[in-house]
Amino acid sequence: MNTATKPHVLVLGGNFAGLSSAQKIREYAGESVDITVIDRKDYLLFVPNIATDVFENRDPSLHQRMQLRPALAADDIHFIQALVQHVDIDARMVNFLPFERPGEASESLHYDYLVVALGAHLAYDRLPGFAEHGHTVSDLFHGERLRRYLFEGGYRGGPIVIGAAHFHQGDGAEGLQPYPGGSIPYLKAACEGPILEMTTAMASWLTRTGRGTPEKITVFTPDEMIAADAGVKNVEAFLRMITGMGIHYRNNMPDIAQLTAEGIEFVGGETLAAEIKLILPDWVSHECLRDLPICDSRGFIRTNLLMRNPEHPEIFAAGDCASVTMPKIGGIGHQQAELVGRQIALDMGRMDAEEANQALRPVTFCIGDMGEGRAFYVRSNSWFGGHDDVLKMGRVPYRLKMSYRDLFFLTHGKMPGFGLNIAQFAAERVF
Ligand SMILES: Cc1cc2nc3c(=O)[nH]c(=O)nc-3n(C[C@H](O)[C@H](O)[C@H](O)COP(=O)(O)OP(=O)(O)OC[C@H]3O[C@@H](n4cnc5c(N)ncnc54)[C@H](O)[C@@H]3O)c2cc1C
């Protein structure tokens, strides 16, 4: 690595937003920059497909990891496996702790450009009783724990409650207008597509395994409408379908006070009886970023719609750690990584302003497993002020969900544009 002669781009985080940003910077800025990625783990965790493995009785740790090192080395991107500890914005330095073995000494690295893509802290540690009584599918450990519970005799046939803790969105996206007259509104849950997915996949699991009927399930949301970012018309159709199956739906729920053996206790005292409590927590900003002057009122990184911090144009954010990323979904992080690559190429004189300065127009794009080889497909931008609301359900979206992961791994995360266009075409036109 020759940081003395070329500007050094330091990317913090190597999952969806970090990997994709580093690759896009290399694609658009070419060899004009040196790039380093730091992540605490050296693989990409393919979060969206963990639930499918769980409900289809596969250990997700065997299928939902992609090695980062070869993917980055192919693009001459340096990788450091380390825990990011502190960012010194004035000195343009990042402190990190090499993370492969215990006992390492803290080190530091200088940057000319910083791309923050550290995601968020999924705060199960703020949910009293979660460790003893809760389940989730956001990582390999919890996914495997739930799979064993379901398939190795843990489930006793009791009620199942699925929902999200309250999210506390900061003020960092206020005033941004992604579509004419639109905005990034407030959500009380960070990411509810997976809640819908777990609900339909669980209903299918109950029926398929003869463990019960969908009436055992209650799904709840802290918001007026669950997953409103997927488009009001889409969600209304989805709710008609699941309530028609007998699934109970509760909206405007207070925050979770605690999980117990008997169920979920909400702030204010209401309880929902549940044997299985399938929960997504609050998405909280990382402690190592929270107090930086580039953060909003909740510690998420403030950017404009080109993903640059307004006061520090050498700093970018992409993915879940950015204020503008609402809901917190990987698809939006991917759109942002494209913009980061273009902006750095602009600064390097490798792209003209017209091509580079195309602001973020977020789209909620989500494919959720419904069990038995079926899935729902959502493409919507109406929540942000756009006019598109597409909802499809069936076998084609399920095949797309599986082939997207396969293509992602095959291409080391460099999804060809035509692949995405074909996916959209297949889902929206073919059936
Ligand atoms: C159950 C579930 C299902 C989902 N399904 C979908 C879906 O179908 N479609 C969709 O678009 N989105 C989905 N999402 C959301 C999606 O997973 C996230 O939006 C996406 O992972 C965000 O990518 P990111 O790179 O910003 O953050 P992350 O994926 O969280 O990655 C952050 C990276 O930073 C690293 N890191 C964090 N802190 C440090 C530190 N201090 N030092 C070093 N490294 C650090 C982590 O190791 C990680 O690799 C789902 C989420 C969940 C929980």
Q: For 37-70, how does the pLDDT look when each residue is reduced to its tens digit (9 = 90+)? A: 999 999 999 999 999 999 999 999 999 999 999 9
d(CA 15, CA 36): 14
Q: Which contacts (CB < 8 Å, 24+ apart) does range 419-424 have?
A: 424/379
User: What tens digit of pLDDT does each residue of 216-264 get?
Assistant: 999 999 999 999 999 999 999 999 999 999 999 999 999 999 999 999 9
Show the tokens assigned to 191.
């990411």
Q: Does 8-121+285-356 match 122-283 in CATH topology?
A: yes
Output the residue whose Cα is nearest ligand 1's atom 27.
119
DSSP 3-state of 82: strand
pLDDT surpasses 90 at 425: no
d(CA 234, CA 133): 32
pLDDT surpasses 90 at 354: yes
**What is the average pLDDT across 360-381?**
93
Q: Taking the alpha carbons of 300, 303, 307, 310 in that order, is the dihedral positive or negative?
A: negative
Judging by DSSP bridges, how do beta strands 160-164 and 276-280 pair with one another?
Answer: parallel
Burial 412-423 (b: 16+ CB within 10 A, else e): bbbbeeeeeeeb
User: What tens digit of pLDDT does each residue of 283-338 get?
Assistant: 999 999 999 999 999 999 999 999 999 999 999 999 999 999 999 999 999 999 99
Residue 1: per-residue pLDDT:
44
Structural domain boundaries of the chain? 8-121+285-356, 122-283
DSSP run (H or E) holding 196: helix 193-208
Which ligand 1 atom lies nearest to the CA of residue 82? 43
Residue 5: per-residue pLDDT:
86
DSSP run (H or E) holding 239: helix 232-244
Overall size of the chain counted in residues: 431
User: What tens digit of pLDDT does each residue of 5-48 get?
Assistant: 899 999 999 999 999 999 999 999 999 999 999 999 999 999 99
Residue 2: per-residue pLDDT:
45
Residue 75: per-residue pLDDT:
98
| Bridge partners of residue 115, in order along the sequence | 11, 316
Q: 165, 280 in Cβ contact below 8 A?
A: yes
User: What tens digit of pLDDT does each residue of 65-110 get?
Assistant: 999 999 999 999 999 999 999 999 999 999 999 999 999 999 999 9
Ligand 1 centroid, distance to 143 Cα (angstroms): 15
Pocket test for ligand 1, best of 52, 97, 191 (most atoms within 8 A of CB): 191
Q: 244, 224 in Cβ contact below 8 A?
A: no
pLDDT surpasses 50 at 398: yes
For the chain, state the CA radius of gyration.
Answer: 21
DSSP 3-state of 79: strand
DSSP 3-state of 259: strand
Ligand 1 centroid, distance to 190 Cα (angstroms): 12
pLDDT surpasses 70 at 417: no
Q: Kindly report the CATH class assigned to 8-121+285-356.
A: alpha beta
* CB distance 413 to ligand 1 below 6 Å: no
Output the residue whose Cα is nearest ligand 1's atom 7.
48
Output the residue whose Cα is nearest ligand 1's atom 49.
15
- In which band, very low, low, confident or very high, does the pLDDT at 4 lie, cut at 50, 70 and 90? low
Average pLDDT, the chain: 95
Q: What share of the chain is helix, strand, coil (3-state, %, to 5)?
A: 35, 25, 40
pLDDT surpasses 90 at 428: no
d(CA 23, CA 71): 9
Ligand 1 centroid, distance to 119 Cα (angstroms): 5
Residue owning tokens 């398939």 = 151
**What is the pTM (predicted TM-score) of this model?**
0.96
Give the fold, CATH level 3, of 122-283: FAD/NAD(P)-binding domain (3.50.50)
**What is the average pLDDT across 380-402?**
94
Q: Taking the alpha carbons of 129, 132, 134, 135 in that order, is the dihedral positive or negative?
A: positive
